[in-house]
Amino acid sequence: MSSGSEARRGRPRSAGADERIIRVAIELLLARGYGGLSPDEVAERAGVAKTTLYRRWPSKGHLALAVVARLQEYDEIPDTGDIRRDLTVYLGEIAVALNRMRLAGAAEGSRSPGTVAELVAAAARDDELDRLRRELYERRNALAIALIERAVRRGQLRPDLDPGVLLEQLAGALYYRVLITGAPVDEEYAARLVASALDGATTAE
Amino acid sequence: MSSGSEARRGRPRSAGADERIIRVAIELLLARGYGGLSPDEVAERAGVAKTTLYRRWPSKGHLALAVVARLQEYDEIPDTGDIRRDLTVYLGEIAVALNRMRLAGAAEGSRSPGTVAELVAAAARDDELDRLRRELYERRNALAIALIERAVRRGQLRPDLDPGVLLEQLAGALYYRVLITGAPVDEEYAARLVASALDGATTAE
Amino acid sequence: MSSGSEARRGRPRSAGADERIIRVAIELLLARGYGGLSPDEVAERAGVAKTTLYRRWPSKGHLALAVVARLQEYDEIPDTGDIRRDLTVYLGEIAVALNRMRLAGAAEGSRSPGTVAELVAAAARDDELDRLRRELYERRNALAIALIERAVRRGQLRPDLDPGVLLEQLAGALYYRVLITGAPVDEEYAARLVASALDGATTAE
Amino acid sequence: MSSGSEARRGRPRSAGADERIIRVAIELLLARGYGGLSPDEVAERAGVAKTTLYRRWPSKGHLALAVVARLQEYDEIPDTGDIRRDLTVYLGEIAVALNRMRLAGAAEGSRSPGTVAELVAAAARDDELDRLRRELYERRNALAIALIERAVRRGQLRPDLDPGVLLEQLAGALYYRVLITGAPVDEEYAARLVASALDGATTAE
DNA sequence: AGCTAATCGAGACGGTACGTCTAGTCTTAAA
DNA sequence: TTTAAGACTAGACGTACCGTCTCGATTAGCT
C-alpha cells in the first residue's frame, strides 16, 4: 500500500520509541487502568519526550486505543469446521481480553468495566478516535463473520442467516455483561451463549 | 420512609430544587452530552447553589444517572401473548432511548455512543454509583425476563431456555451496536434481532 | 473608591494566600531570577492550588510584577530641602533595587540585567500587563517629580525646567546602565549623575 | 583575520544563505516582533534548514541581535561643530530606530517596548550574547562619546565633563521612555532632552 | 576517479514551562 | 440547617517553543 518509493526525508522516526512507549503504556494500563495511564508518566518511563509521544498518538485516548489494539492482535480464528466449537473458542478469547481489561487497575473485588468503558467514552469525545476504534472492531469482527459465512456455506447454519446479527448477539451479550450488568464472562458462559444463539429459543417441534 | 419522629431543625430543603435541577440536567445532557453536563452550569441554570446540588446527588455521575433513570421511566412491558411481537416492541423502546442518548451533544454526523459510555465509565470509578447503575438495569431487565418466562410457561419458548441469556443476546446486540460498532439501531433491527435469536442459526431440518 | 457598600457574597478570598504566594514569589525571584520563578513551584511552596494563584495573577508576568511592586513599596521620598542630596538619595535607592534585581538568579560575575528586562519583555507580550507595569512606574515617578517641582518652586531649580525630562535623564541613565551597557550603578554614580544633570554640560562663563 | 593558509575542506557554506536568512528575519521581526521571530519559520521562509541557520547564529537571540545590528548600521555621526544640533540629530536617529522596534509586531495602539526588551532579556540568559549586545552598543556609543569629546576640546562643553555620563543621560532618557514609561520619543523630544542636559537644571545666576 | 570532509534540507527528538480544565469541597452571610 | 455565592484543592492534560540530532544527499578539495 504505502510501500516506499517516495524517498523519505528528514530524520526517521525512532523505531524503538514506538515500541518502548507502547510497552510502558500496556504495563501502566493493565496495572492501573485508564485513569492511571498518564501520558507524562508513560513518556518519562519510556525515556522519551512528551512531544515524541504526542506526535504518534495525539491524545491519551489514542494511546490507550493503541494499547488495546496491541493486546488484541490475533490475526486469525481457527476454523475446525465445527462452528459451535469455533465460536465458543472465539468468544472465549474475547472474554479473556475483557476480563483482563476489567481487572486493570480495579479495586480488588470490583466488577468494574473500567478501561473498556473509558475507552468508549474517550472515543465519544473525539470523532477521529471513535473512527479508529470502530475500525479496530470491524477488523476483528470481519474475521468472525467470515467464519460464520463459511459455516453457512457448508450448510451448518441456515442459509438465510445474517452473520452480522448472529455475531452481535454473541459478542453483544459478552459486552453487555461486562459493561452493563457486571455479570461474569468466561468460557462456560461463552458455550451457553453459543448454544442459545444457535439453537434458538422457540420450541422445537 | 423517613416520616416522623426525629424532628428536623433548621431550614427545610427547598421543595422545587430537586425538580428544577433534574430538568436542567436533562436539558443539558440531551443538548450537549455528558461532557456538557457541567455541575456548575446545572446549578447556575437551576438557580441553585452547587452545594444544594451536591447535597442531593453526590457526584456528576449520580446526577447523570438520575437523568437517565428519569428518561427511562416506563413501568411495564405490554404482554400481548405474542412473545415475538412483545420483545420487538420492548427492544424498540430501548433502541429509541439509546438513540436519544447517542444524539446528545454529538456533532451532526457523529455516531458516538456518548453518554451511555460516559456513564459506564463514571460508574467504573465509583463503586456506589456502579451499584445504583446496575440496579437500574436489573430493575428494567427483570420485567423483560418475566415476560420471557411467561412465554416459556405458555409453551411458546423452549422449557430449557435461560431467559437471562436470551435477554443478553437481545439487549446486548443493541448495546453492542451503539457502544462498539456504531451501527444504527431501530425497530427494524429489533425485529430482525428477535427473529434471529428466537429461530436460532442452525439449519432447520 | 470601591469602599464597600455592595455586600460581598460567597467565600471571601483567602487573605493569607495572597501574602504567602507573594512571599514565596519574592524569595524565588530573588534567588533564581525570572526564569526560576515557576508558578507551579510558587503555588506548591505557598501551599496553594495553582488555580488560586492564577485567579489572582493571571500569568507569571503578573506575579513577577506584583513582586517588583512589593519590593518597591516606599511611599515617600525624604525632602530635606537640598534637592541635590534628595535626588541622590532617591536615585541611590533605585540603584539598590536595580542591583538586587540584577543579582537575582544570575551567575556569579554576570552583569546581566535579568529580571528587569524579563519583566519588560513579558509586558511586551501582554498589553494589560504592560499597562499595570507602566502605572507602577508612573506612581513611583510622580513622587520624584513632585520633589523636583518643589525645588523649582523654592527657586533652587530653574523655573522653565521640565521636571519629567530631568527625571528621565536621571532614572534613564541608571536603567541604561543596567539594561543596556551593563555598567555598574551605585551611590557614587548617582551623585555624579545628579551633578551632571543639575549643572549642565555647557561651559560656565 | 582567518584568511588563508588552513585549506578548508568539505562543502563550502552556501553563499546566499546568510543574507536570505537575515532578510527574512528582519521582515519577520519587524512584522511580528521578537515573539514572531520563530527560527523554524525563518528557516522555512529562507528556504534553508534549521541546522544551516543555527550554524551561523547559535540562538534566536543571536539572530535577533544580528537583525538589530543590521538595522543600526550607520557608521558615523555628522559633526557640524554645533554640538547641540549634532546630539539632537544623533538622538533623533536612535529614536527612529527605537520606534521602529516598538512598532514591530505590536497591536495597533500598543506602546509596548517589544523587541528591545526581549533582546535584553535574551541576553540576560546568555553571557556570550550579552557580550555581543554590549559590544554593539559600545561601538555605537563610542562615536557619540568622541563627538562630545571634540566639543569639549573645542571649549563648547565644560572641560570637567564626563562624556559617558552625558551620553547616558541622553540615550538613557530615550530608552527609559521606550522601555519603562512607554512615553513617545521623537525629534522634538530629542531636542528638549539635549537642551535640558546641556543647560542644566540649576537656576542660572 | 575515488576519498574525505563539511554542508545542506528535512524533520524527528529532548526538555520543560505554562496555563487550562474540571470535579468536588469549604467558607462566608443570610434565610 | 439549608441556601446562594464563589473561592478553594487537586492534578491531569495538552501546547508551545527552542535548540539538537539523525538521516540521506551534495559539493568541494585532496590523493
In tens, the pLDDT along C159-175 reads: 999 999 999 999 999 99
Provide the residue type at C185 as one letter: V
State whether D127 and C113 contact (CB < 8 Å): no
Q: How many CB atoms lie within 10 A of CB D177?
A: 23
Residue closest to E7, CA→C1'? D11
* D158, D176, D182: residue with CB nearest C175: D176
Asked whether the predicted pLDDT for residue C34 surpasses 70, the reply is yes
Torsion of CA D120, D125, D129, D134, to 10 degrees: 40
Q: Å from C50 to nearest chain D CA?
A: 26
Asked whether the predicted pLDDT for residue D203 surpasses 60, the reply is yes
Q: What values do phi and psi take at C136, rounded to 5? A: -55, -50
**Three-state DSSP class for residue C104:** coil
Same domain, yes or no: D114 and D195: yes
DSSP state of D58: S
| A156-166 pLDDT, tens digit each | 999 999 999 99
Q: Which of B202, B44, B72, B57 is nearest to B137 (CA)?
A: B72
Task: Give nearest nucleotide to C52 (CA–C1').
Answer: F8
Residue closest to F25, CA→C1'? A9
State whether C176 and D175 contact (CB < 8 Å): yes
Torsion of CA B136, B140, B146, B151, to 10 degrees: -150
- Cell numbers placing C83: 534637592
Question: Is residue C205 situated within a structural domain?
Answer: no
Same domain, yes or no: B65 and B144: no
Provide, in whole angstroms, the distance separating residue B189's CA from nucleotide F15's C1'. 45
- Cell numbers placing A59: 491524545
| Percentage of chain C lying above the pLDDT 90 cut | 71
State whether C113 and D120 contact (CB < 8 Å): yes
Residue numbers in B near A204 (CB within 8 A): 158
Asked whether the predicted pLDDT for residue A25 surpasses 80, the reply is yes
Question: Is residue D205 situated within a structural domain?
Answer: no
Query: What average pLDDT does range B154-182 have in this prediction?
Result: 95
Question: Is residue D204 situated within a structural domain?
Answer: no
* D171, D175, D181: residue with CB nearest C137: D181
* A113, A158, A176: residue with CB nearest B171: A176
- The structural domain count of chain C equals 2
Asked whether the predicted pLDDT for residue B166 surpasses 90, the reply is yes
Residue with cell 495553582: C50
**Three-state DSSP class for residue B202:** strand
Question: Is residue B190 situated within a structural domain?
Answer: yes
Q: Å from A82 to nearest chain B CA?
A: 12
Residue numbers in A near B192 (CB within 8 A): 162, 165
Asked whether the predicted pLDDT for residue D1 surpasses 60, the reply is no
Query: What average pLDDT does range B168-196 have in this prediction?
Result: 95
CB B127 within 8 A of CB B121: no
| D109-152 pLDDT, tens digit each | 444 557 888 898 898 888 899 999 999 999 999 999 999 999 99
* C120, C162, C204: residue with CB nearest D196: C162
DSSP letters of B17-58? HHHHHHHHHHHHHHHHTGGG--HHHHHHHTT--HHHHHHHSS
State whether D200 and C203 contact (CB < 8 Å): no
State whether A177 and B182 contact (CB < 8 Å): no
| D146-178 pLDDT, tens digit each | 999 999 999 999 999 999 999 999 999 999 999
* A117, A134, A177: residue with CB nearest B121: A117
| More confident position, B75 or A20 | A20
B203 Ramachandran zone, left/alpha/beta (phi>0; psi -120 to 50):
beta
End-of-domain residue from the set B69, B90, B124: B69
Nucleotides on strand E lying under 7 Å from protein C-beta: 4-31
Q: Could you tell me which chain D residue has the CA closest to the CA of C127? A: D110
Same domain, yes or no: B191 and B106: yes
Same domain, yes or no: C86 and C177: yes
| D44-90 pLDDT, tens digit each | 999 999 999 999 999 999 999 999 999 887 767 889 999 999 999 99
Provide, in whole angstroms, the distance separating residue C109's CA from nucleotide F20's C1'. 28
State whether B117 and A113 contact (CB < 8 Å): no
Three-state SS string over chain A comes to: CCCCCCCCCCCCCCHHHHHHHHHHHHHHHHHHCHHHCCHHHHHHHHCCCHHHHHHHCCCHHHHHHHHHHHHCCCCCCCCCCCHHHHHHHHHHHHHHHHHHHHHCCCCCCCCCCHHHHHHHHHHHCCHHHHHHHHHHHHHHHHHHHHHHHHHHHCCCECCCCCHHHHHHHHHHHHHHHHHHHCCCCCHHHHHHHHHHHHHCCECCC
- Confidence (pLDDT) at A2: 39
Residue numbers in A near B158 (CB within 8 A): 201-204
- Confidence (pLDDT) at D6: 57
Q: What values do phi and psi take at A101, rounded to 5? A: -60, -40
- Confidence (pLDDT) at D3: 41
Residue with cell 543574507: D19
State whether B193 and A166 contact (CB < 8 Å): no
CATH code for the domain in which residue A16 is found = 1.10.10.60
- Confidence (pLDDT) at D2: 41
Lowest mean pLDDT among B10-14, B27-31, C146-150, D92-96: B10-14
State how far the Cα of D113 lies from the Cα of A41, in Å rounded to an integer: 40
Question: Is residue A165 situated within a structural domain?
Answer: yes
State how far the Cα of A179 lies from the Cα of A167, in Å rounded to an integer: 17
Same domain, yes or no: A179 and A82: yes
- Confidence (pLDDT) at C169: 98
> Which are the contacts of D48, defined by CB distance < 8 A and separation ≥ 6?
D14, D17, D20, D21
- Confidence (pLDDT) at B15: 81
Provide, in whole angstroms, the distance separating residue D10's CA from nucleotide E2's C1'. 15
- Confidence (pLDDT) at A77: 83
Task: Give nearest nucleotide to D10 (CA–C1').
Answer: E6
| Percentage of chain B lying above the pLDDT 70 cut | 88
Question: Is residue A111 situated within a structural domain?
Answer: yes
Query: What average pLDDT does range B88-92 have in this prediction?
Result: 94
Same domain, yes or no: C87 and C173: yes
CB C166 within 8 A of CB D197: no
Q: Which chains touch D (3 or more CB pairs under 8 A)?
A: C
- Cell numbers placing C79: 525632602
**Three-state DSSP class for residue B118:** helix
Provide, in whole angstroms, the distance separating residue D59's CA from nucleotide F24's C1'. 26
State whether A182 and B130 contact (CB < 8 Å): yes
| D2-20 pLDDT, tens digit each | 444 456 688 888 989 999 9
Provide, in whole angstroms, the distance separating residue C131's CA from nucleotide E22's C1'. 32
Same domain, yes or no: D65 and D9: yes
Same domain, yes or no: A192 and A128: yes
Nucleotides on strand F lying under 7 Å from protein C-beta: 1-30
End-of-domain residue from the set A69, A103, A125: A69
pTM above 0.95, yes or no: no
Q: Determine which of A179, A185, A192 to mutate to test the interface with B (most B C-beta atoms within 10 Å).
A: A179
Query: What average pLDDT does range C107-134 have in this prediction?
Result: 78
Q: What values do phi and psi take at B45, rounded to 5? A: -65, -30
Q: How many CB atoms lie within 10 A of CB C157?
A: 22
Alpha helices in C33-162 (DSSP H): 39-46, 50-56, 60-71, 83-103, 114-124, 127-153
State how far the Cα of A136 lies from the Cα of B35, in Å rounded to an integer: 24
- Confidence (pLDDT) at D103: 76
Same domain, yes or no: D64 and D164: no
Residue numbers in A near B127 (CB within 8 A): 107, 110, 112
- Confidence (pLDDT) at A85: 94
Same domain, yes or no: B181 and B97: yes
Question: Is residue B204 situated within a structural domain?
Answer: no
Radius of gyration of chain B (CA): 20
- Cell numbers placing A110: 470490583
> Which are the contacts of A39, defined by CB distance < 8 A and separation ≥ 6?
A50, A53, A54, A60, A63
Q: Which chains touch C (3 or more CB pairs under 8 A)?
A: D
CATH code for the domain in which residue A154 is found = 1.10.357.10
With b meaning 16 or more CB within 10 Å and e meaning fewer, what string describes C117-156?
Answer: bbbbbbbbbbeebbebbbebbeebbeebbebbebbbeeeb
- Confidence (pLDDT) at B3: 41
Chains A and B share 3 or more Cβ pairs within 8 Å: yes
Provide, in whole angstroms, the distance separating residue B99's CA from nucleotide E20's C1'. 33
Asked whether the predicted pLDDT for residue C155 surpasses 90, the reply is yes
Task: Grade residue B117 by pLDDT with cuts at 50, 70 and 90.
Answer: confident
State how far the Cα of A73 lies from the Cα of A75, in Å rounded to an integer: 6
As a residue count, chain C comes to: 205
Same domain, yes or no: B59 and B98: no
Same domain, yes or no: A108 and A166: yes
Task: Grade residue B110 by pLDDT with cuts at 50, 70 and 90.
Answer: very low
DSSP letters of B176-192? IIIIII-----HHHHHH
Q: Å from C71 to nearest chain D CA?
A: 17
Residue numbers in A near B165 (CB within 8 A): 173, 192-193, 196
Task: Give nearest nucleotide to D61 (CA–C1').
Answer: F18
For residue C163, give its domain range. 76-199
Q: What values do phi and psi take at A202, rounded to 5? A: -75, 155
Lowest mean pLDDT among B29-33, C43-47, D34-38, D86-90: B29-33
Question: Is residue B82 situated within a structural domain?
Answer: yes
Residue numbers in B near A168 (CB within 8 A): 172-173, 176-177, 181, 193
Residue numbers in C near D166 (CB within 8 A): 196, 201
Provide, in whole angstroms, the distance separating residue D13's CA from nucleotide E14's C1'. 28
End-of-domain residue from the set B42, B69, B96: B69
Provide, in whole angstroms, the distance separating residue B192's CA from nucleotide F23's C1'. 57
Residue numbers in D near C156 (CB within 8 A): 202-203
- Confidence (pLDDT) at D106: 62
| More confident position, A143 or C110 | A143
- Terminal-residue alpha carbon distance, chain A: 54
Task: Grade residue B76 by pLDDT with cuts at 50, 70 and 90.
Answer: confident
- Confidence (pLDDT) at C105: 66
With b meaning 16 or more CB within 10 Å and e meaning fewer, what string describes D41-72?
Answer: ebbebbebeeebbeebbeebbbbbbbbbbeee
- Confidence (pLDDT) at C3: 42
